[in-house]
């Protein structure tokens, strides 16, 4: 395939676990090429070829200068909220589309992303996995059918290095369920239980968080009724699914104008 027809992709956090997984996916894709790689100014990987860990040569070097974005069509970012926002501003400046897999944004930060989407196309989702997004669709269906007589609890587990809780995916699950029930998650979510809590509010959606080991990401939603319990689970054994979902988002954005999209748009699940 001619380089003129390839999707030119830049990866943020190039020396991190997810960054390397994304680089490997781009290098293996017939319709994509690695056009840039970003990392922190303090990274010891600066100046190195981002594909060197694969025994390959990409022709670009890991850089901290955001001007590197100018040669790319889309940036994939799975970093931290502060870093993603800095990249967002640079993407607007250079007219680069953005795939955001970062989680932990505040309402104000989400508003900044929405404002930027008036100028560039952005696909943002707390989880890029195709399976997770199909699970979200199933949860919407289940919540509508089990709207009365069932208590709802969401349990998630991640590796010891994850810094935000509950996970963005767990929160998205809660939002999908709350929307299906005609509620606002802000009003019905319960994130902590300790001491004498009293009886459970039947309109609440509970969250429980587990952190430890190298768990990539496990999520289970329980609908607990009288005499029965329905559980809908998704378990990730590898970050490969996140990388492949991100490339599907890259391909989706290629033909889209400015706007804010999510994985339901990418997968046609609306």
Catalytic residues: 158, 162
Quick one: tokens of 220? 């289970």
- CB distance 69 to 91 below 8 Å: yes
| Residue in this structure with the two tokens 């990539």, named with its chain if needed | 216
Whether 148 and 226 have beta carbons less than 8 Å apart is answered as: no
What the block records as the tokens of 258 is 């400015």
**Number of helices followed by number of strands (H, E) in the chain:** 8, 12
Closest CA to 46 of 34, 35, 54, 38: 38
C-alpha angle 140/146/148, rounded to 5°? Answer: 130
């Amino acid at each position: 395939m001619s380089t003129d027809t390839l999707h030119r992709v830049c990866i943020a956090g190039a020396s991190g676990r997810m960054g390397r997984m994304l680089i490997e996916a781009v290098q293996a894709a017939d319709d994509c090429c690695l056009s840039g790689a970003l990392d922190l100014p303090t990274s010891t990987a600066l100046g190195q070829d981002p594909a060197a860990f694969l025994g390959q040569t990409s022709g670009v070097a890991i850089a901290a200068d955001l001007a590197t974005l100018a040669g790319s069509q889309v940036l994939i970012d799975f970093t931290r909220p502060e870093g993603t926002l800095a990249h967002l501003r640079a993407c607007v400046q250079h007219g680069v589309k953005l795939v955001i897999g970062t989680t932990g944004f505040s309402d104000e930060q989400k508003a900044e992303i929405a404002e930027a989407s008036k100028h560039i196309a952005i696909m943002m989702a707390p989880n890029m996995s195709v399976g997770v997004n199909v699970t979200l669709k199933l949860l919407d269906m289940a919540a509508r059918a089990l709207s009365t007589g069932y208590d709802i609890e969401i349990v998630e587990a991640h590796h010891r290095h994850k810094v935000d809780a509950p996970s963005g995916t767990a929160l998205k699950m809660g939002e999908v369920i709350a929307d299906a029930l005609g509620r606002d998650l802000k009003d019905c979510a319960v994130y902590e239980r300790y001491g004498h809590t009293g009886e459970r509010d039947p309109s609440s959606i509970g969250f429980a968080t587990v952190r430890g080991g190298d768990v990539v990401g496990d999520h289970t939603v329980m609908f607990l009724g009288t005499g029965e319990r329905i559980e809908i689970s998704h378990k990730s054994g590898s970050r490969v699914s996140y990388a492949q979902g991100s490339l599907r988002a890259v391909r989706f954005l290629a033909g889209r104008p400015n706007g804010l999209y999510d994985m339901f748009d990418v997968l046609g699940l609306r």
